[in-house]
Structure 1
Amino acid sequence: MSAPIASKYRADIDGLRTIAVMSVFLFHANSSWMPGGYIGVDIFFVISGFLITRIIAREIENGDFSLKMFYVRRIRRILPVFYTVVLASIFVGAWVLLPEDLHSLLDSARYAVFFAANVYFAQDKGYFDISADEKPLLHLWSLSIEEQYYFVWPLLLMLLYALASRWNEKLRALKENLIIGFTALFVIAGFVYTQYMLITRPGDANTYFLLQFRFGELMIGSLTALLAVWKSRLGMRMLAYAGAILVFLGLWTLDRDSVFPGVNALYPCVGAAFIIYSGQAGGGGGSTAIHRWLGLKPMSLVGLLSYSIYLWHWPILAFMRYVYGSYSLPWQWILYAFVFTFALAFLSYYLIERNTKGAKLSLGKAFICMFLIPAALVYVVAEKLEASRPVTPKSLELANYGTDVCHGVDSGQCVRGDRNLSPTVLVTGDSHAAMFNSFIDVVGKHEGWAAVVRTGSSCSPVFGFNETLLPVSAQQPCADLKEFVEESYGDYQAVIFASYWAYQLGLIEKGADPLYLTRLEQTLRSMAERAPVYVLSDVPRLPVHPFRQEHFSRIGLLVDRQLSALHMQANEVIRKIVEKIPNVYWIDLSAALSGFDYMSIYSGKPVYFDDNHLNVYGSSSLGELFIRNQPPLLTNR
């Protein structure tokens, strides 16, 4: 065991760090570029396990291991840049984020300073959840795992050496095998337990974020550090190339949908371990093209910056996605993300990392200066920001499309428009019809008619609509709505039909009724034989949440975003169907919608309550703009 413990700088390991950090960066920039790029984190785990175990084992063998100095080195190496990034993220978040999102950031920062960010995010949603792409400190989960490993493994390794020291020098080989054997058992137990939990509790975020499910990965690196160097030059070369193949397979055969970590984590972990092990001196290490390439100056330089690159890249991408409102960023934004990341990483490495990791400090001074004071600063800043940016409930007119609407039920204020009149119009459809309740109030009062508005969640009540494709909670309300519409539409002088056309046509989500368009045409023809039918165009789906857009406008953060064309595509399909049916009329709302700023703000207030539904204020404002700019709704067009 003494052979691999010798300490010598390994440029190829820094090159392997480059592979790890750039894989993660590319995956986070756009997951389609490198589908399994997230395994770069697992490569980091193996590298950390190897280096930490090599240092501890060497010092224990030499009789000069100090737990205090071990933690001093870890504090100097990790915390200064860590706190710089956390505080920078908080200050940017205080400007960019809405209060409720800022409070979530501050909560994650509090957990992070106590090396428990992984615990915080395990309580929330999964790593690959869409909203996760906008959480600035999400990436600290992996750093928390490494920090927790630093508390556990040195003590376990000291215990193993203490137990093995009972064997006399003549039984040294048995002593070494005992330590290696226990370490190997930790690897096996870690992976078996993780795989078992992945099978029995699929989708549980705990299995991605918590130490017990990653411990086996770190222990692969530890085991690699403890094994004696293999003397076969050919064998070491074969391991190097096998390791490269395994890493490559992990990067290009795994993706977001792969069951992970568990057995699939063996690709990057065993691959990285093979590369690290085969690069050791004494067994032909470093003699392969792989090690020479990894040891090139540009590779090792990026490897030296890898810790800072990892810390900076994710907050930059997360804030960009928060502002832009989409996971898919324009190429210019991604280019800026790379430039900013490398610039900040270069500065933090040369101004902070290089100066602090060699600072001569006692454990007490390191603890106070590099942990306690920055942690207290994070807490004080968080408390001040929460007090100055409280989360206030949104007014009802901004937070929904009405609390008294007949949506999924036949109770509430079902009569809209001029309520002094008997209703002569039926308005129906899914939630994109429900959002027009206030619009109908304004337009109906202006034109002198009243309407019964009955709608259902995700339910566009065409005759024969397959409600079994809807969530269970929406199926019975949809069946009831279909029955009501089919039985009563002939009792009205006009029918207004509206729906989330892009959704119903299957352009937004899978699972739409494949016969919807045929059934819609048949329904409109049947209705038009009794009374005129007016089909409303749909509203755009916003590229960014309306409350965010209001906030960005207020702070002067003006961004040009690509508006989704799906609503126009869907509107065009429906319009062509409508215009070939006698007594059915297409009502294009685009002229009225053009009165909204950024398609989501009117007179300084948001007109949507999410990215695709008008709120009460927006619906009534659209009604005002409609009667001001367009012909009457109920006319034979």
Structure 2
Amino acid sequence: MRAKTRRSTYRSDIDGLRAIAVLAVLFFHAGVPGFSGGFVGVDMFFVISGYLITGIILRECRANTFSFKGFYLRRIRRILPALIVMVTTTIILASFVLTAFDFKMLAKNVLATVFMIPNISIWKTSGDYFSNAVDSNPLLHLWSLGVEEQYYLLFPLMLFLLIRYLHLKWLWGLLVVALLSGIGFAFWAVSFKPTFAFYWLPPRAWELLCGAVLAYYHLRQQSINGQRLMTLLGSLMIFLAIVIARNNDVYADFAHQILAVVGITLLIDGNSQRRNVPDLSHQSLFLKPREEYKTQSSHDLVLTRLSHWISLFLSWPLLVGIGRISYSLYLWHWPLFSLYTYRVHPDALLWYETTALLAATFVLAYGSWRYVETPFRRPKKWNDTAVIKLAFSLQSVLVLLAIGILYSGGFPQRFGLASSAYSAGAEDKNALQKDCHTDPYSSDYHFPSIEKCLIGQQTANAPIRFLVWGDSHANAVTPVFDALGREYGLAGGHATLFGHAALWGAKSNDDNATLNWLQFNQEQLKVIVDRSIHDVFLVGRWPSYVFSATQFEGTLGRNGIPNVLIKGHKTGLQAFRASLEETVQRLQQQGVTVWLVLPVPEMDRIMPRWLALNAADQTDVWLKAPYPERAAAVWPVFKELQAKYGVHLLDPSLQLCREDGQCRVAYKGKSVYYDDDHLSTSGSLLLREMLRPAFDAMKQGL
């Protein structure tokens, strides 16, 4: 009976910690105030998984009962039934909601989930976990499951071989070395390959290894001294991670991971002593004045009481219950929020919508746990052979469904031809993007020679008259430069860098990207000098280098200039002005005519999707620009450069917007944007008249 009590207490602690982790993620995705860093709940899950899995393997190896068959069968029973039900339901619901383009992306992620690489697929397709576009992927959250599944495949074999062929005392040292190496690699990855660090197993391995090291330590009937302090410190660190962390600089910030991982590790260890303290009352929040407390100092008594309350909270029946259904909670929450936001309410959810979605999540999660998870984890109900056959059969069905969706092009006929045409706008991008729009965050960054990125009239030995230089917004408008170049018989070049416009001396949000940015700028200036290029068009999403990527606020976008001292300037706006001014100066020193293209009006929704679902019966659509103050805030910089250096200003809003603030988002049945802020190829061609005076001037100057 006593052993059973200890096991129950232990499981209550772990379930309580699982509940904290899953609630943090749920409330983060729901936009609940105070949970801006709730995404660290996934980091906490990794530690808990590492702790539990390692503990199972070590205990079974010590008892000579471990088998790979048994281990993986338990994983299949634990993971696949609920996962398959959720994915199948998501496909069915998405068929009524997602446009053809996004339905195809869902199918790709279904295939990746079946083959246990959803994290890699999402890394390649969705990219930024925190971008506005991620609500189009109802399976986005499965990236973390991919990390865990890959860990389950590799770690048990490695651990088993180490236990079998090495003395147990060596295992401790190897685990610690692996942990320290993992931390070092993760720090490097966060600094130089931030999105890789977020999605892939190797940079995440240290979090799982933290749990593994602690499991080994506990197996030897040891725990770190000072459990009360560990409990309090761990709780404080988790609280700070959840409340303080922000998603707009998460890729370059290792601190939030440290807080969450170390915090949950300390909390697991701090509560491990409860297994040997059966007299902790669950009936009272206050410790009784027993004899041992009378000898404690007031400081020790406060620590004892606080740690006691935390332990009681973690074993609170409601929290324990949430912890037990935490896997199903995690599985179901994002598809509900994603599909609802996608179809019904693309803007910020109202409080009652959030409440209803959370309630629905809990109902579905309980049903999944009660009627799917629990039965399949009972060998008497489903024997091993039946589970394997059923899992293989259902996985095969999912593969066939996904292939069918891809082969059909996402079943565009679901919403009609007009809707399908708008949906196709998501793929209406610059054809040169693949080869000539490079990523400074890539470890193998290189920019191709100008000969591979020519636009306009391309004849043998024709001189390059103009260059389009900038970030992804420059890449997006390149088609209109290409069309006019062909019309006027002028050759041009295309040089664009993801998230980094022509700003000289500015800093990116990680050192590697900053170096690549500087190299890119130097390369373009050298090309301009060597090829005697006369005209340069500077294009960029200029407001995002001063403010956040999508909102008008004094914080910084992920790809923008950090709001720190740059060249002695205290604000992002000052740094932006100084960097753009230096670019203009360097160009004019080479006798170049500078054309500065002002910001393209930004929208607050993914336009091809919105048009396909809400305006398919209209061929010309106008919407009020939601962020006019963002462009207005940087406008004085452009006017100052015009007055001081005589640069030519080209304003896309004169072609795309009316005086009443309404901007064109659809023209002749085609989307003007391919997302919320980049012009589609069709949209860029609407800027012909804006650029025609520049091409007239270039033609006359020959």
Given the two structures, how large is their TM-score scaled by the length of structure 2?
A: 0.62
1:168 aligned partner = none
Specify which of 381, 386, 389 is matched with residue 365 of structure 1: 386
Corresponding residue for 1:244? 235
Matched, 1:198 2:178: no
Q: State the 1:564 CA deviation.
A: 2.6
8 Å CA contact retained: 1:31, 1:37:
no
Map 1:123-272 onto structure 2 (within 5 A): 130=131, 133-134=134-135, 135-150=137-152, 179=168, 181=169, 184-198=172-186, 201=189, 203-204=192-193, 205=196, 208-210=200-202, 212-223=205-216, 225-228=218-221, 236-248=227-239, 250-251=241-242, 256=250, 257-259=252-254, 266-272=261-267
| Residue identity opposite 1:8 in structure 2 | S
Aligned match of 1:399: 429
Q: Aligned partners of 1:561, 1:350: CA distance in 2, in Å? A: 48
Residue by residue over 1:77-125, the C-alpha shift from the partner in whole angstroms, topping out at 9 and shown as x without a partner, is 3221111222233344555556565444333333322434345557778
- Residue matched to 2:408: 388
Structure 2 counterpart of 1:551, from 605, 609, 612: 612
Distance 1:556 1:286 in 2: 66
Distance 1:579 1:161 in 2: 71
**Residues 305 and 346 of structure 1 are in contact (CA less than 8 Å); yes or no, is this contact kept in structure 2?**
yes
1:339-350 matched pairs, under 5 angstroms: 339-350=359-370
Aligned counterparts, 1:394-433, within 5 A? 398-400=428-430, 413=456
Report the alpha carbon displacement of residue 411 of structure 1 after superposing the two structures with TM: 7.8
Q: CA deviation at 1:198?
A: 3.1
Q: In 2, Cα distance between the equivalents of 1:561 and 1:307? A: 42
Give distance in 1, aligned partners of 2:327 and 2:624.
32
Residue 287 of structure 2 corresponds to none
Q: 1:541 aligns with which of 579, 602, 606?
A: 602
The residue that corresponds to 2:106 in the other structure is 105
Q: For residues 399 and 301 of structure 1, what CA distance do their matches in structure 2 show?
A: 49
Deviation for aligned residue 1:402: 10
Task: Name 1:420's counterpart in structure 2.
Answer: none
Structure-2 change in CA distance of 1:106 and 1:276 (3 Å): farther
Shift of 1:18: 1.2
Please name the residue that 1:37 is paired with.
38
Q: Residue type matched to 1:399 in 2?
A: K
CA contact (8 A) 2:109 2:139 kept: yes
Call closer, same or farther: CA 1:263–1:537 in 2, change over 3 Å. closer
Bigger Rg, structure 1 or 2: 1
Over 3 Å counting, the alpha-carbon distance change for 1:270 and 1:505 in structure 2 is closer
Cα deviations by residue, 1:540-566 (Å, 9 ceiling, x for unpaired): 123344443443347799999982335
Pairwise CA distance, 1:384: 0.9
The amino acid across from 2:262 in the alignment is: Y
Amino acid at match of 1:565: P
Aligned pairs for 1:569-608 (under 5 A) are 569-570=632-633, 573=636, 593-594=656-657, 599-608=664-673
CA distance in 1, matches of 2:120, 2:483: 49
SS across alignment from 2:402:
helix
Q: Contact 2:480 / 2:684 at 8 angstroms: preserved in 1?
A: yes
1:53–1:225 contact (8 Å) kept in structure 2:
no
CA distance in 1, matches of 2:489, 2:40: 57
Q: Distance between the aligned counterparts of 2:215 and 2:583, measured in 1?
A: 64
- The structural deviation recorded for 1:221 is 4.9
8 A Cα contact 2:325 2:365, kept in partner: yes
Helix, strand or coil for the counterpart of 1:139? helix
Query: What is the DSSP-based 3-state SS (H/G/I as helix, E as strand, rest coil) of the residue aligned with 1:16?
Result: helix
Aligned residues: 577
For 2:65 and 2:15, locate their aligned partners in 1 and report how far apart those are by CA, in whole Å. Answer: 27
In structure 2, relative to structure 1, the CA distance for the partners of 1:536 and 1:27 (3 Å cut) is closer
List gaps (5 residues or longer) in structure 1: 165-177, 416-425, 490-495, 524-532, 628-632
Deviation larger for 214-223 or 533-542: 533-542
C-alpha distance in structure 2 between counterparts of 1:155 and 1:624, whole Å: 65
Cα 1:317–1:564 shift into 2, 3 Å: farther
1:603 partner amino acid: K
Alignment RMSD? 6.0
Aligned mate of 1:376, from 373, 396, 399: 396
The CA distance in 1 between the partners of 2:131 and 2:629, in whole Å, is 20
Query: CA separation in 2, counterparts of 1:552 and 1:252?
Result: 36
* Residues 479, 684 of structure 2: 8 Å contact kept: yes
Q: State how far apart, in whole Å, the 1-side matches of 2:313 and 2:70 are.
A: 34
Return the TM-score normalized by structure 1.
0.67
Tell me if structure 2 keeps the 8 A contact 1:83–1:374: yes
Q: Shift in Å at residue 605 of structure 1? A: 0.6
2:426–2:675 Cα contact (<8 Å) kept: no
CA contact (8 A) 2:236 2:263 kept: no
Match of 1:274 in 2: 269
Structure 2 regions of 5+ residues with no counterpart?
Answer: 283-307, 413-422, 434-449, 459-464, 508-516, 550-559, 563-574, 587-593, 698-702
Query: Which amino acid letter does the alignment assign opposite residue 605 of structure 1?
Result: K
Secondary structure class of the residue paired with 1:347 = helix
For 2:600 and 2:106, the matched residues in 1 are separated by: 32
